[in-house]
Amino acid sequence: MDQLPVFYHYYPLEVPVFIPFDWLQRLHQEIEHFYHYMSPSEAENQIRAEVVARIEKIILSKWNEAKVEVFGSYRTGLYLPTSDIDLVVLGKWSSLPLRTLEQEFLEKDIAVENSIKVLDKASVPIVKLTDKKTDIRVDISFNMSNGVKSAELIRTYVEKFPVLPKLVYVLKQFLLERDLNEVFTGGISSYSLILMCISFLQLHPRQDSIRDNSANLGQICCFITF
């Protein structure tokens, strides 16, 4: 019987790890299947667009000169079915109208009962709610335009590294299953995770395969060391 090819990876203590190539290939196929299964469909995109439209209508009916922008994973397309929608309201206020917006949502009955929360003491104050029709969670902040710019930056890296979305999906699900996907509960933000993945890919020795989408995803995931 022919010996299977192996990959060698050395940790700081220089203990070799031997991984048969066929295992890595199976993991690669599993990740590909997972990515295609979890990627949002047109119907899912449409449902989220309708949630945004409903909330935007309420906000603009109160402040017609305001502007509502989408950012985060929904804007980049790197969202899981359980991911929330991040919105930012851009406008001019002497103080952030968090409680006013909360009251508007209560009057319009758009959210699941008791799901509206105002985090006015957070470093970035937000209004959180769960949409009544879809059970999709929404986070709304005010005058934080950096989020939109960050989302556009991520989209440029998705074009540069075609394997990035697949890597991000696996790691986001990994964190979700361990309750490490929320910053305010001690986890890591989606943006931080994506930046770490980008840094890993930038330093990867096989730039040709990383950039043309021919890299073995099993090998990449096995050898990630942040």
Q: Is the pLDDT of residue 22 over 70?
A: yes
Mean pLDDT of the residues in the chain? 86
**Residue partners of 201: CB distance under 8 A and separation at least 6:** 161, 163, 164, 167, 210
Question: What is the arithmetic mean of pLDDT over 146-173?
Answer: 93
Percent of the chain with pLDDT over 70: 86
Among 2-11, 134-143, 157-166, the range scoring the smallest mean pLDDT is: 2-11
CA 199/CA 218 separation, integer angstroms: 18
The pLDDT, as a whole number, for residue 2 is 47
Confidence class of residue 8 from pLDDT cuts 50, 70 and 90? very low
* pTM of model > 0.85: no
Q: Which of 55-64, 143-152, 173-182 holds the top average pLDDT? A: 55-64
**Residue partners of 97: CB distance under 8 A and separation at least 6:** 63, 142
Q: Which of 3-7, 10-14, 32-36, 119-123 holds the top average pLDDT? A: 32-36
Among 3-17, 104-118, 153-167, the range scoring the smallest mean pLDDT is: 3-17
User: What is the residue extent of each domain of the chain?
Assistant: 51-144
The DSSP line for 183-226 is GGGT---HHHHHHHHHHHHHT-S-HHHHHTT-S-HHHHHHT---
CA 187/CA 199 separation, integer angstroms: 19
- Residue in the block written with tokens 């790890």: 17
Among 8-12, 80-84, 150-154, the range scoring the smallest mean pLDDT is: 8-12
When comparing pLDDT for 79 and 6, which is higher? 79
The pLDDT, as a whole number, for residue 203 is 85
The pLDDT, as a whole number, for residue 172 is 92
Per CATH, domain 51-144 is 3.30.460.10: yes
The pLDDT, as a whole number, for residue 224 is 60
Confidence class of residue 169 from pLDDT cuts 50, 70 and 90? very high
Q: Is 216 left (phi over 0), alpha (psi -120 to 50) or beta?
A: beta
Q: Measured at the alpha carbon of residue 163, what is the angle toward residues 49 and 83, in degrees to the nearest 5?
A: 30
The pLDDT, as a whole number, for residue 139 is 96
The pLDDT, as a whole number, for residue 104 is 95
The pLDDT, as a whole number, for residue 15 is 45
Tokens of 116: 């509206």
Cα 160 → chain centroid: 18
Confidence class of residue 109 from pLDDT cuts 50, 70 and 90? very high
